[in-house]
Amino acid sequence: MRNVLEIRDLRVSHRGKDIVSGIDLNLARGESLGLAGESGCGKTTTALAVMKLLPEGFRQEGSIALAPEGSDEPIRIDRRTEAGMRVVRWRHVSMVFQGAMNSLDPVKKIGFQLEEVINLHEGRSSGARQRVEELLDLVGLTAAVARRYPHQLSGGQKQRVMIALALACGPSVVIADEPTTALDVVMQAQVLQLLERLREELGLALVLISHDLGVMAETCDRIAIMYAGRIVETGPMDLVISDPQHPYTKHLLESLPVIGGERGLAPPIPGGPPAPGDPPEGCAFRPRCPYSDEICFQPPDLAEAGPDRLAACHFSPWSKWPVLSDASKGANP
């Protein structure tokens, strides 16, 4: 297996409603993949399914195979029990959870919280303290941070600690869920640079979850756009950005503000993603798509849309986007 992570036909449902409805994802060694989409598209659910940390009441199906360096046979995460997963989590795949501000225990020092992960995972070891210093150094913090409490750190420092927590046991895959969302722009850039540097130094494969295409454009090799629990477009980052092949991708890109561009708010995408368990007939994006037609009442397949690219749109590959008159902008009934 060339890929370090392979997801095949992953489905997650809650009380019979599909949250994620059959996605395939590959992650090559050392690659960074962006997983984008609006809130409620199933990005975080997909990540939690890979960690097998979905809350009670969720059902996951489909195969998730992990092939860390040096292992002969891929680890089948989907077949692991909870006890079996404890060996895999942190050691092979780990996650930077959403919301760094609330993820640390307010009454414990940073050093303790890092040591805790190492000790709980590998049993009490005398090397834990040493490892904490290495980890803090790795994420660009001084060793003195180990003696601080979370409230004594800035938002950016906390996010670095969160990344250090994810790296504590030397994983080969790290999933970062909205790692920059609560940070200001300068901090965002620093954290992204840090992730980029760690990927190079440690040979990590990185899955970056965000709704911000601007953030991804800076760090990711490849991108997968999710909509209503499915992947609607995937391909190399620069190609997808310069020449989107799905109307949803195009809309996401157009909603980014351009510095020096026309003043005023970017036009929002009309409407919102469909509620889980109640998808519209045919293409899930059809009710919000200005280009939709009769054929869109048939569900589209994720089909080839160029070199190394897939898109789930009946009209792809788009050679040229039709110019919309003002009247047809906005949601179709």
* 125 lies in the binding site for another protein (CB under 8 A): no
Single out the residue of 1, 9, 39, 53 in contact with another protein (rule: CB under 8 A): 53
Residue 150, preceding bond cis, omega within 30 degrees?
no
Residue 328 CB neighbour total at 10 angstroms = 11
Using CA atoms, how far residue 58 sits from 16, 20, 24, 50, in Å, is 9, 11, 19, 13
**Of 207 and 311, CB closest to another protein:** 207
Of 104-112, 138-146, 217-225, 296-304: span binding another protein (CB under 8 A): 104-112
**Of 165 and 269, CB closest to another protein:** 165
Using CA atoms, how far residue 231 sits from 22, 209, 221, in Å, is 9, 13, 17
Please count the residues of this chain forming the interface with another protein, following the rule CB under 8 A. 21
Q: At what angle do helices 110-122 and 155-167 cross, to 10 degrees?
A: 10
Single out the residue of 21, 49, 65, 90 in contact with another protein (rule: CB under 8 A): 90
Min. distance of Cβ 89 from another protein in angstroms? 6
Residue 122 CB neighbour total at 10 angstroms = 15
Of 108-116, 172-180, 257-265, 302-310: span binding another protein (CB under 8 A): 108-116
* 116 lies in the binding site for another protein (CB under 8 A): yes
Contact 47, 207 (CB under 8 A): yes
* 99 lies in the binding site for another protein (CB under 8 A): yes
Single out the residue of 44, 97, 226, 273 in contact with another protein (rule: CB under 8 A): 97
Please say whether the dihedral angle defined by the alpha carbons of residues 250, 253, 257 and 261, taken in this order, is positive or negative.
Answer: negative
**Of 104 and 175, CB closest to another protein:** 104
* DSSP sequence for 214-276: HHHHHH-SEEEEEETTEEEEEEEHHHHHHS--SHHHHHHHHTS--TTS-SSPPPPPSS-PPPT
Contact 57, 63 (CB under 8 A): no
**Of 90 and 285, CB closest to another protein:** 90
* 29 lies in the binding site for another protein (CB under 8 A): no
Single out the residue of 49, 110, 117, 296 in contact with another protein (rule: CB under 8 A): 117
Q: What is the CA radius of gyration of the chain?
A: 21
Min. distance of Cβ 103 from another protein in angstroms? 4
Task: Provide the CB-side half-sphere exposure for 135 (13 A, CA).
Answer: 28
**Of 116 and 218, CB closest to another protein:** 116
**Of 88 and 269, CB closest to another protein:** 88
Of 84-92, 170-178, 215-223, 245-253: span binding another protein (CB under 8 A): 84-92
Using CA atoms, how far residue 212 sits from 8, 188, 252, 287, in Å, is 26, 11, 9, 23
Single out the residue of 89, 222, 250, 314 in contact with another protein (rule: CB under 8 A): 89
**Of 14 and 121, CB closest to another protein:** 121
Rounded-to-integer distance, Cα 177 and Cα 292, Å? 32
* 165 lies in the binding site for another protein (CB under 8 A): yes
* 186 lies in the binding site for another protein (CB under 8 A): no
* 120 lies in the binding site for another protein (CB under 8 A): yes
**Of 154 and 328, CB closest to another protein:** 154
Single out the residue of 2, 73, 81, 107 in contact with another protein (rule: CB under 8 A): 107
Tokens, residue 82: 């909870």
3-state secondary structure of 31: coil
Query: Which residues make up the interface to another protein (CB under 8 A)?
Result: 51, 53, 83, 86, 89-90, 97, 99, 102-108, 113, 116-117, 120-121, 165
